[in-house]
Chain A
Amino acid sequence: MRYSANEVVLFLEPYSVPAAAAFDLPGYSWMEHLAERGYDTWALDFRGFGRSSRPAAMDLPPQDNRPVIRSAESMVDLAAAIAHIRKLRHVDKITLVGWSYGSVIAGKYAAEKSNEVGKLVLLGAMHAFSLPAMTKPFENKDPSPRRQPRRPSGGWRERQRRWV
C-alpha cells in the first residue's frame, strides 16, 4: 500500500507512559481511529520506555547516575525511527504527533530537521518550568546518609520482580 507524506503519522509518547498505552489502547485508540481512515500510523517507545531496551544505568540506584534518558538520547531514537519509516514508505516527510515529553522531542526535531517533518501536532506540550519536588532530592550534596534520599533496594528490574 502506498501512502503520501501527509498520511504517514508517528506518535511520540509522554514521559513514562508506553506508546501502546498512550496511543493504542483498545477502544480508545488514536492509532486505530486514524488507521481506519487510511493513515499509516506508527508509535515509538524511546529507549528506557515501554518495550524498548533499558540502559544499564537503569538497573542501578538513581543516586548513582545523572538522569539516564535526556532529549539528546531521544533525538537519536527519533532520528532512527524516522529514517526507518521514510525508507520503508518512500516519503520525504512525515507527520509528528508529540504528547507532553513527546512534544518536546517532536518540536526540537521539527526545528532542526524541517525537511523531514511535514506537519507537527503538539498535545499537552511541555515548556520551560521548574519542578523542585522532583529534582531537589537528587541535588543534595550533603554526604551524610541521613540527608540522602532513601535508596530503593534495587533498580527497576528488582522492583518489577517484587510486584510480578
Chain B
Amino acid sequence: MLFRTRLHALFIAVVAWGFPAHAATVLDETTLVLDGTGETLSLRHRALLS
C-alpha cells in the first residue's frame, strides 16, 4: 500500500513536471471591409481568456 502511494506520488510529480500549466489563450478573427474597394482584410487576434 505504501509502495502504491509513493508510486502515485511519483507519477503525479512526473506529470506535473512534464506538463506545466499554460495560460489559456483564445483566438478569434475579424473581417474588415475596406471603403470603396470592397476588399476584405482578415485580422487574427489572440489574447488571454478573460
Q: Chain A residues in contact with chain B, CB under 8 A? A: 1, 19-20, 23-24, 29, 31-32, 35-36, 38-47, 50-53, 55, 76-77, 80-81, 84-85
Contacts and interface: CB of A to CB of B under 8 A. Distances in A.
Nearest to B42: A51
Of the listed residues B32, B43, B46, the one surrounded by the most CB atoms of chain A closer than 10 A to its CB is B46
Contacts, number: 75
Nearest to A76: B34
A75 to B, nearest CB: 12
Which secondary structure dominates where chain B touches chain A? strand
Contact of B39 (A41, A55, A81): A55
B47 interface: yes
Interface residues of B, number: 20
Given A44-B42, A45-B44, 8 more contacts: A29-B46, A36-B48, A40-B47, A41-B46, A47-B39, A47-B40, A80-B32, A81-B43
B32 A81 contact: yes
Which secondary structure dominates where chain A touches chain B? mixed
Contacts of B27: 24
B5 interface: no
Contacts of A19: 42, 44
A36 B39 CA distance: 32
Nearest to B41: A52
A20 to B, nearest CB: 6
B43 to A, nearest CB: 6
B43 A84 contact: yes
Given A42-B45, A80-B41, A81-B43, A36 B22 contact: yes
